[in-house]
């Protein structure tokens, strides 16, 4: 039987030194030099109807066993940074300070333009604690949505930096998605 008690999603309060460090990283990330480089690789698609796409996907979750985001299609609605960039290395170093007794791995750094999204998925092929640090241009325009015990919860982000932690499990799977009406930058980490 699945253990629903171990699934969770919570906001994190960053220490002032970690918050300041991430503010510097996101300021660098928003630099046109870096943003132009990542967007010039192309491939992402703006979807004005992203909310209806996410609603349609959500209506099928009970019929789907799993959906890991390892396919190339998963990145067409946003643009990612490579883990080897100095910004990603700096961010990984900060999260390692936040979790000094655990192993921490980078799991993606993504820019979401307005009217973009990351569809419903589980990450069950890489279970463990997930930490996401994101920056949103405006309050209540971008969200992280997840589902536990057949209940969907939508967490709207504040302008500036937002941090959350959640547990990815194989059984039950942890369905989640992202929707963006304004600019959003996100960095994810796996903590074991």
Token couple for 50:
């992203």
* Separation between Cα atoms, residue 45 and residue 153, nearest integer Å: 25
Q: What range does the domain containing 146 cover?
A: 4-191
Token readout for 91 is 């961010």
Distance of CA 45 to the CA centre of its chain: 17
Low-confidence ranges of the chain (pLDDT < 50): 1-4, 71-76
CATH number of residue 93's parent domain: 2.60.120.620
pLDDT value at residue 80? 63
Among 2, 8, 40, smallest CA distance to 131 is for: 8
Model pLDDT, residue 19? 97
How far is the C-alpha of 189 from the C-alpha of 130, rounded, in Å?
6
Write the pLDDT tens digit of every residue in 145-170. Answer: 999 888 999 999 999 999 999 999 98
Rounded Cα distance between 46 and 171, Å, is 33
How many structural domains is the chain composed of?
1
Strands, sheet with 116-121, edge to edge from the N-terminal-most edge strand:
116-121, 175-180, 142-148, 151-156
Using CA atoms, how far apart are residues 8 and 147, in angstroms rounded to an integer? 10
- What are the beta bridge partners of residue 173? 170
């Amino acid at each position: 039987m699945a253990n629903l008690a171990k699934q969770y999603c919570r906001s994190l309060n960053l220490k002032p030194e970690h918050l300041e460090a991430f503010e510097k990283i996101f300021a660098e990330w928003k630099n046109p030099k870096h943003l132009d480089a990542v967007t010039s690789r192309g491939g992402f698609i703006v979807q004005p109807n992203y909310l209806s796409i996410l609603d349609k996907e959500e209506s099928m979750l009970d019929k789907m066993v799993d959906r890991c985001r390892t396919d190339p299609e998963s990145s067409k609605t946003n643009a990612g940074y490579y883990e080897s960039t100095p910004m990603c290395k700096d961010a990984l170093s900060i999260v390692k300070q936040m979790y000094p007794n655990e192993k921490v791995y980078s799991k993606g750094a993504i820019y979401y333009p307005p009217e973009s999204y990351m569809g419903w998925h589980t990450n069950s092929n890489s279970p463990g604690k997930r930490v996401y640090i994101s920056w949103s241009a405006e309050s209540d325009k971008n969200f992280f949505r997840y589902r536990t015990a057949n209940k969907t919860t939508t967490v709207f982000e504040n302008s500036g930096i937002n941090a959350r932690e959640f547990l990815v499990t194989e059984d039950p799977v942890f369905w989640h998605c992202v929707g963006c009406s304004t600019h959003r930058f996100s960095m994810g980490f796996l903590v074991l």
